[in-house]
Amino acid sequence: MIKVSICGRNSHHPSPCHVEHKDGLPNYLLLLVKTEAWFVLDNRRIYTKPNMAILFNRNSYIHYGCDKANYNDDWIHFDIDNEEELVLFSSLSIPFGQPIYISNIHALSHYVQLISNSYRTRSLHWEAITNSLMHALLYSLDEELATPNNPFISHKYYPSFSALRSQLYNDPSANWSGDDMAKSLCLSLSYFQHLYKDFFNCSCQQDIILARLEKARFYLSNSDMPIGKLALFCGYNNEIHFMRQFKKHEGITPSMYRANHKSSHHSNSSNQLSN
């Protein structure tokens, strides 16, 4: 079984950062790095581009950072039972201590979100759920190495689009528009929209909505922020628009979503106490 020790998603550093573990860590560390960064690998400082994953072995030297503000990553510390460890890693081609560039880091980041949610709620079957999600995450990362599932990854504009999409999902509450996004890449709106749909299988406007709803679901589940304030926090100009859009996509109102989550969490906590 894969056991998560601690994890986090969209970890922001408001100033340049520097992390070093000279003696390594007692568990594995997986990073999904969404911004530029640097890593000391084989005694050399390597500068990496956004949308990169790196897996560190247990007890290995770890040294990385970012010279700019707003470094952002997802991170998971985990261990694997001895009887499964050799089988799992022998079936995967994920190298230790080497940058892996990801064609769709948002899909992998979504796994981290689900793992983080399961880890925090500690529901009745949280360990089994987390174990399954970790397998899915590692196998998905392995697929990136074996057969990149995005046929456009070698397109000259793909890195710029992918970086822009990372900015969107990192800060969906900003005043995003297709026109401004196209201008930021010096492309016409029609060509930008065409490429965006090809690259990510959805329009940029749909992606803006999905990014905002993802943020809304997280804060509905993990905060008591009033709905009106949360709507503004997630990039909506008014509460009514937010509520209508949320119900259209989720099938229930934001208040019902929050109530359902709290009810489920309370029920799971009660079950754990009774056990």
pLDDT for res 107? 83
**Other beta carbons within 10 Å of 9:** 20
What is the band of 233 on the pLDDT scale with cuts at 50, 70, 90?
very high
Report the alpha-carbon distance of residue 136 to residue 145 in Å, rounded: 15
pLDDT for res 81? 84
Report the alpha-carbon distance of residue 236 to residue 249 in Å, rounded: 15
Tokens for 18, please give them: 């520097």
Report the alpha-carbon distance of residue 37 to residue 120 in Å, rounded: 28
The answer on pLDDT for 254 being more than 60 is yes
pLDDT for res 148? 52
Tell me: the pLDDT tens digits for 52-109?
999 999 999 999 999 998 899 999 999 998 777 778 888 888 999 999 988 778 889 9
Q: Which amino acid belongs to residue 95?
A: P
What is the band of 266 on the pLDDT scale with cuts at 50, 70, 90?
low
When the pLDDT of each residue in the chain is averaged and rounded to a whole number, the result is 88
pLDDT for res 151? 67
Cα first-last separation, the chain:
22
Report the alpha-carbon distance of residue 104 to residue 124 in Å, rounded: 31
Report the sign of the C-alpha dihedral through residues 61, 7, 114, 134, in that order: positive
Residue 81 per-residue DSSP state? -
**Other beta carbons within 10 Å of 211:** 23
Tell me: the pLDDT tens digits for 136-169?
999 999 988 765 555 676 678 887 888 888 889 8
pLDDT for res 267? 53
What is the band of 273 on the pLDDT scale with cuts at 50, 70, 90?
very low
Q: DSSP letters along 147-176, please?
A: S-S-TTTTSTTHHHHHHHHHHHHH-TTS--
The model's pTM: 0.63
Is 118 within 8 Å of 132 (Cβ atoms)?
Answer: no
pLDDT for res 153? 67
52's enclosing H/E stretch is strand 52-56
pLDDT for res 274? 47
User: pLDDT higher for 261 or 40?
Assistant: 40
